[in-house]
Amino acid sequence: MNARLRLVADRAATAAPPPVEALHEEPGPDAARCLGLYAKLAAGVAVVTARGDDGPLGMTVSAVTSLSARPPLLLACLRDGSRTLAAVRARRTFAVHLLREEQQDLAGRFASPTTTAAQRFAGTDTRQILGVPVLAGSLAWSVCLTEDVRRYGDHHLVVGRVAAVHVGAGRPLLWHDRRFGSLTGPVPDAAG
């Protein structure tokens, strides 16, 4: 580091940080740049399902994460206006299915804005657990009781208390850089 750069770095390190309130008033990067950042997040792909008034509903979701073990809580971010979100709120129960790498077509179908709910579920092996449609064949699934739904910007943060769980074997389907992908190496066992 040359002397001038060192001086600038030293000043930055010792200067008092601006108050957080001041940072909130900064315009910040635009949505396109943020979406570019989010595209670099590597995520597993899930399908969230819930019971609607006219039958099962479901959508593809990559924004799913574990939140707590005691009590067992999962978190999913569902976009404003989603039909599935409306059912998650109304019925207070939903299921999260973590997809296997072979289930890319299913993920595409449950994301397509032009497919009806009936088309999404057509040909799937579905059973009811705690009144929620649960799809057979995923890597793992859980049925959750809706604990909290909170709006943040254009999405809602949904917290679910895990009420039932099944863990299978296989490799997960991944989503990165707006493309599906998968892991290499040995296939993990069900026990993980």
Q: Residue numbers of the site for ligand FMN (CB under 6 A)?
A: 45, 59-63, 77-79, 82-84, 107, 111, 113, 155, 175
The 3-state DSSP class for residue 121 equals helix
Q: Where are the alpha helices (DSSP H) in the chain?
A: 3-14, 20-24, 31-39, 83-91, 104-109, 117-121
* Lookup: tokens for 190: 């069900």
Distance of closest approach, residue 145 Cβ to ligand FMN, in angstroms: 19
Q: Exposed, middle or buried, 82 (CB in 10 Å: 0-12/13-18/19+)? A: middle
Tell me whether residue 25 or residue 81 sits nearer to ligand FMN (CB atom).
81
Tell me whether residue 62 or residue 142 sits nearer to ligand FMN (CB atom).
62
Distance of closest approach, residue 45 Cβ to ligand FMN, in angstroms: 5
Distance of closest approach, residue 22 Cβ to ligand FMN, in angstroms: 31
Tell me whether residue 85 or residue 162 sits nearer to ligand FMN (CB atom).
85
Distance of closest approach, residue 70 Cβ to ligand FMN, in angstroms: 26
Tell me whether residue 61 or residue 139 sits nearer to ligand FMN (CB atom).
61
- CA dist 132 and 90 (Å) reads 12
Tell me whether residue 102 or residue 189 sits nearer to ligand FMN (CB atom).
102
* Segment holding 122, helix H or strand E: none
Contact present, 132 and 93 (Cβ < 8 Å): yes
Tell me whether residue 82 or residue 146 sits nearer to ligand FMN (CB atom).
82
- CA dist 4 and 176 (Å) reads 40
Distance of closest approach, residue 10 Cβ to ligand FMN, in angstroms: 42
Q: Please report, for residues 33, 64, 79, 101, 107, the alpha-carbon distance to residue 46 in angstroms, rounded to integers and kept in the order given.
A: 25, 7, 14, 11, 8
Distance of closest approach, residue 24 Cβ to ligand FMN, in angstroms: 25
Contact present, 1 and 12 (Cβ < 8 Å): no
